[in-house]
Structure 1
Amino acid sequence: MEANVTGRQYFVLILILGLMTALGPFSIDMYLSGYQAIAADMHTTSASIGLSLASYFIGISAGQLLYGPLLDRFGRKKPLYIGLVVYILASLGCIAAHTLGAFVVVRFIQAIGSCAATVASVAMVRDLFPIKDSAKVFALLMLVVGASPMIAPTVGGYVTVAWGWQSVFIILTLLGAMVLAACIFFLPESHQPDPSISLKPGPIINGFLEVIREPQFATYALTGAWAFAGLFVYVSASPVIFIDIFHVSKETFGWIFAGLSVGFIGSNQLNSLVLRKYRSDQIIGPALLGQAIAGAIFFIGTYYGWFGITGTIIMLFLYLSGLGFAYPNAAALSIAPFKRNAGSAAALMGALQMGIGGLASTFSSLLSKDNPMPMVTIMAGCAILSCVILAGGRTRITNPVLLQDGGDAVVVH
Structure 2
Amino acid sequence: MTATQDRSTAVPEEAPPPRRAVLVLVLGAFVAVGAFTIDMYLPALPAIATDLRTSSPMVQLTLTGTLVGLALGQLVIGPLSDALGRRRPLLAGTVLHVVASLLVLVAPTVQVLGVLRVLQGVGSAAGGVVAMAIVRDLFEGRAAATMLSRLFLVMGAAPVLAPTVGGELLRVTSWRGVFAALALYGLLLFVVGRLTVPETLPPGRRVTGGVAGTLRTYRGLLRDRVYVGLVLVAGLTMAGLFSYVSGSSFVYQRQFGLDEQQFGVLFGAGAFFLIGATQLNPVLLRRWSPAQVLSAAMLAGTVAALVLLTLAAGGWGGLAGVVVPLWAVLAAVGLALPNAPALALAAHGETAGSAAALLGAVQFGIGAAVSPLVGLLGNDATAMALTVGGGLLLGLLVLGTVVRPWQLPDLPDAAAVAVAH
Same fold (TM over 0.5): yes
What is the match of residue 178 of structure 2?
Answer: 168
- CA shift in 2, pair 1:366/1:94, >3 Å: farther
> How far has the Cα of 1:155 moved from its partner?
0.9
Distance 2:348 2:84 in 1: 24
Deviation at residue 385 of structure 1 after TM alignment: 1.1
The correspondence of residues 18-167 of structure 1 with structure 2, limited to 5 A, is 18-125=28-135, 138-167=148-177
Match of 2:264 among 219, 239, 254: 254
Q: What is the CA–CA distance in structure 1 between the aligned matches of 2:353 and 2:329, rounded to whole Å?
A: 30
Q: In terms of mean alpha carbon deviation, does 133-142 or 158-167 score higher?
A: 133-142
Q: In structure 2, what is the Cα distance between the partners aligned to 1:332 and 1:10?
A: 18
Q: Deviations over 1:213-262 (max 9, x none)?
A: 21211222212221221001101111111112211011111110111112
Distance 1:130 1:226, change over 3 A: closer
- 1:375 and 2:384 aligned: yes
Aligned to 1:97, the other structure's residue is in SS state: coil
Change (3 A) 1:335 1:122: closer
For residue 210 of structure 1, the aligned residue among 199, 220, 243 is 220
Residue of structure 1 in register with 2:291 after alignment: 281
Distance 1:302 1:132 in 2: 38
Match of 1:332 in 2: 342
CA distance in 2, matches of 1:221, 1:63: 17
> Paired residue for 2:315?
305
SS in 2 for 1:96: coil
Alpha-carbon deviations, 1:16-69, whole Å to 9, x = none? 434322221111111111112111111123343121111111111111111122
SS at structure 2 position matched to 1:61: helix
Bigger relative contact order, structure 1 or 2, given CA contacts below 8 A and separation 6+?
2
Residue 393 of structure 2 is aligned to residue 384 of structure 1: yes
What SS is found at the alignment partner of 1:401? coil
Instruction: Output the CA distance in 1 between the equivalents of 2:281 and 2:19.
Output: 31
Q: Say whether the 8 Å CA contact 2:149–2:338 is kept in structure 1.
A: no
How many angstroms apart in 2 are the aligned matches of 1:296 and 1:175? Answer: 38
Aligned partners of 2:40 and 2:178 also within 8 Å: yes
Which residue is 1:272 aligned to?
282
Q: Give me the whole-angstrom Cα distance separating, in 1, the residues matched to 2:342 and 2:140.
A: 20
2:370 pairs with 351, 360, 367, which one? 360
CA contact under 8 A between 1:47 and 1:240: conserved in structure 2?
A: no
Shift of 1:180: 1.8
Distance 2:200 2:17 in 1: 18
How far the C-alpha of 1:6 sits from its partner, in A, is 8.2
Q: 1:407 to 1:217 in 2, by over 3 A?
A: farther
Q: 5+ unaligned residues in a row in structure 2: which ranges?
A: 1-9, 417-421
Q: Is the 8 A contact 2:370 2:387 kept in 1?
A: yes
Deviations 1:312-346 (Å, cap 9, x if unpaired)?
A: 11121111122222332322222233343343322
Distance 1:300 1:26, change over 3 A: same
Tell me the distance in 2 between the aligned counterparts of 1:282 and 1:7: 32
Task: Give the letter for the 2:306 counterpart.
Answer: A
Contact 1:216 1:337 in 2 (8 A): no
| Larger displacement relative to structure 2 (113-122 or 56-65) | 113-122
CA distance in 2, matches of 1:14, 1:339: 20
Relative to structure 1, the CA distance from residue 301 to residue 265 in structure 2 (aligned partners, 3 Å threshold; closer, same or farther) is: same
Q: Is the 8 A contact 2:297 2:336 kept in 1?
A: yes
Aligned equivalents of 2:18, 2:407: Cα separation in 1: 45
With 1-10 and 269-278 compared, the bigger mean Cα shift is at: 1-10
Amino acid at match of 1:117: G
Moved more, 85-94 or 270-279: 270-279
Secondary structure at the residue paired with 2:131? helix
CA distance in 1, matches of 2:174, 2:267: 20
**Does the C-alpha gap of structure 1 residues 172 and 331 become closer, same or farther in structure 2, counting only changes over 3 Å?**
same
Letter in 1 for 2:372: T
The verdict on how the C-alpha distance between 1:279 and 1:206 changes in structure 2, with shifts beyond 3 A counting, is same
Matched position secondary structure for 1:402: coil
Confirm or deny that 1:179 pairs with 2:189.
Answer: yes
1:317 aligns with 2:321: no
Q: Which residue of 1 aligns with 2:410?
A: 402
Moved more, 139-148 or 225-234: 139-148
TM-score between the two structures when normalised by the length of structure 2 = 0.87
8 A contact 1:2–1:129 mirrored in 2: no
C-alpha displacement of 1:367: 3.2
Per-residue CA deviation, residues 52-89 of structure 1 (Å, 9 max, x unaligned), is 11111111111111112222323333333332221111
Write the mapping of 1:191-202 to structure 2, written as runs, cut at 5 A.
Answer: 191-192=201-202, 197-198=207-208, 200-202=210-212
8 Å Cα contact 1:59-1:109 kept in structure 2: yes
